[in-house]
Amino acid sequence: MNELLRQLTEATGVSGAEKEVRLLIRDLIADHVDEWSVDTMGNLLATRRGTGESDLRVMVDAHMDEVGLLVVEIEGNGMLKFVTVGGFDDRALLGKVVQVGPQKVTGVIGARAVHLLKSNEYSKVVKRDAMRIDIGAKNKDAAAGKVKVGDYAAFVTPYEESSAPGGRTAIGKAFDNRAGCAALIELLRGERYPFDLVAAFTVQEEVGLRGAEVAAYRVRPDAALVLECTPAFDLPNEKDVSPNVALGQGPSIYVMDARTMQDPRLVAHLTRTADAHAIPYQIRQPGGGGTNTGAIQRAAAGIPVATIAVPGRYAHTPTLMISLDDYDNVVRLADAALRGLTADIVRR
List, by residue number, the catalytic residues.
205
- Which residue, 118 or 348, has its beta carbon nearer to other proteins? 348
- The site string for other proteins over 208-247 (x = CB under 8 A, - otherwise) reads --------------------------------xxx-----
* C-alpha pair distances (Å), 244 with each of 176, 222, 241, 257: 16, 30, 9, 12
Quote the least distance from Cβ 51 to other proteins, whole Å.
24
- Which residue, 173 or 269, has its beta carbon nearer to other proteins? 269
Asked if 26 touches other proteins (CB under 8 A), the answer is no
Quote the least distance from Cβ 237 to other proteins, whole Å.
12
- Which residue, 191 or 238, has its beta carbon nearer to other proteins? 238
Quote the least distance from Cβ 153 to other proteins, whole Å.
34
- Which residue, 177 or 260, has its beta carbon nearer to other proteins? 260
Quote the least distance from Cβ 342 to other proteins, whole Å.
16
- Which residue, 72 or 268, has its beta carbon nearer to other proteins? 268
Asked if 108 touches other proteins (CB under 8 A), the answer is no
Site for other proteins in 267-306 (CB under 8 A): 267, 283, 285-287, 297-298, 300-304
Residues making contact with other proteins (CB under 8 A): 240-242, 255-256, 260-264, 267, 283, 285-287, 297-298, 300-304, 346, 348
